[in-house]
Amino acid sequence: MTLRDYQNALVTGASSGIGAATARLLAKHGLTVHAAARRQDRLAALAGPEQGLGAIVPHQVDLRDRAAIYAVLGALDIDILVNCAGIGSRFDPFHELDPDNIDATLETNVAGTVHAVRAVSPGMVARGRGHIVNIGSIFGLHAIGSAVYGASKAAVHMLSQDLRQDLKGTGIRVTEVSPGRTDTEIFATMTDDQAAQAAMADGFEIITAADVAAAVVWALDQPWRVNVSLIELTATEQIPGGVGIYPVGGRE
């Protein structure tokens, strides 16, 4: 199964960042892309004909709304699911984190991802083909210094690994793409400090959303005999485990 064998893709978190870049790139490859996100205005701009893209179909869905996931996304016939929706927990000290922010992070990054897979995978199994791509993070693979966000992405990592066991024999492939620091809006969800946000994109050339989208498409375009299980994607000058320059003195 390469991209030529697929027709319909679903990208969550498609209103910005990695999700938007992935939706655009898949559309350029001729797929019908169902773009799901909370922000209707952003989705409308993404799907607009002025973008010069293929078919992008917007769906306003909050991944914290389980009923909406199953009602809207579960009704689609999907060959490719790319789980990009996610938020970053605050860079406040753990013992000072707002419980609402903790819940929002876990509900979006973990529960939203799990339910999106559960909603579309029965159709994949019935058709005997499909590819699930979960966007993780190096925070889920290394101890960097953001416990709640790291825990949420570690859950995505184990979900991806165990899905390969659970879906063995169904014809469905599972890939996890775990980026390092990426130039997206996620910095704004982690801190309100404008200087701190700028610092996270400073010091070395960080990767872009387009870089991550290209990695996703590369994994999708492999022949069926090849499953790309995990891609860890970082900037050349970002070494996980080394001394970092995150606002709270964490490690990168």
Please report, for residues 89, 95, 199, 251, the alpha-carbon distance to residue 241 in angstroms, rounded to integers and kept in the order given: 20, 23, 18, 6
Alpha carbon distance 185, 187 (integer Å): 5
Using only the alpha carbons of the chain, give its radius of gyration: 17
Position 249 scores a pLDDT of 41
C-alpha span between 113 and 203 (Å, rounded): 32
Separation of alpha carbons 140 and 153, rounded Å: 4
* Residue 242 belongs to some domain of the structure: no
DSSP 77-102: --SEEEE----PPPSS-GGG--HHHH
94 domain-assigned: yes
Q: What type of residue sits at position 230?
A: L
pLDDT of the chain, 252 residues: tens digit per residue: 678 889 999 999 999 899 999 999 999 999 999 999 998 888 888 876 555 566 899 999 999 999 999 999 999 999 999 999 988 776 778 898 899 989 999 999 999 999 999 999 999 999 999 999 999 999 999 988 789 999 999 999 999 999 999 999 999 999 999 998 887 666 556 656 566 555 566 667 889 999 999 999 999 999 999 999 999 999 887 777 654 444 444 444
**Structural domain count, the chain:** 1
In a domain, 162, yes or no: yes
Let me know if 93 is exposed, middle or buried by CB neighbors in 10 A (0-12, 13-18, 19+): exposed
Question: Do the domain assignments include residue 251?
Answer: no
Expressed as residue numbers, the domain containing 143 is 3-233
Note whether residue 250 is domain-resident: no
Give yes or no for a contact between 156 and 133, defined as CB atoms under 8 angstroms apart.
no
Q: Can you give the CATH number for the domain in which 113 is found?
A: 3.40.50.720
Rounded distance between C-alpha atoms, residue 21 and residue 25, angstroms: 6
Strands 172-179 and 130-135 turn out to be parallel
What does DSSP say about strands 182-183 and 207-208: parallel, antiparallel, or unpaired?
parallel
Q: What is the pLDDT of residue 120?
A: 98
Residue 97 within a domain:
yes
pLDDT for position 251: 43
Catalytic residue ranges: 149
| Residue 112 belongs to some domain of the structure | yes
CA trace torsion 69, 70, 71, 73 (10° rounding): 60
Instruction: Please indicate, yes or no, if residue 240 is contained in any of the structural domains.
Output: no
**pLDDT recorded at residue 33:** 95
**Could you tell me the two tokens for 187?**
């910095």
What is the C-alpha to C-alpha distance for residues 37 and 63, in angstroms, rounded to an integer? 8
Round to whole Å and give the CA distance between 144 and 169.
36
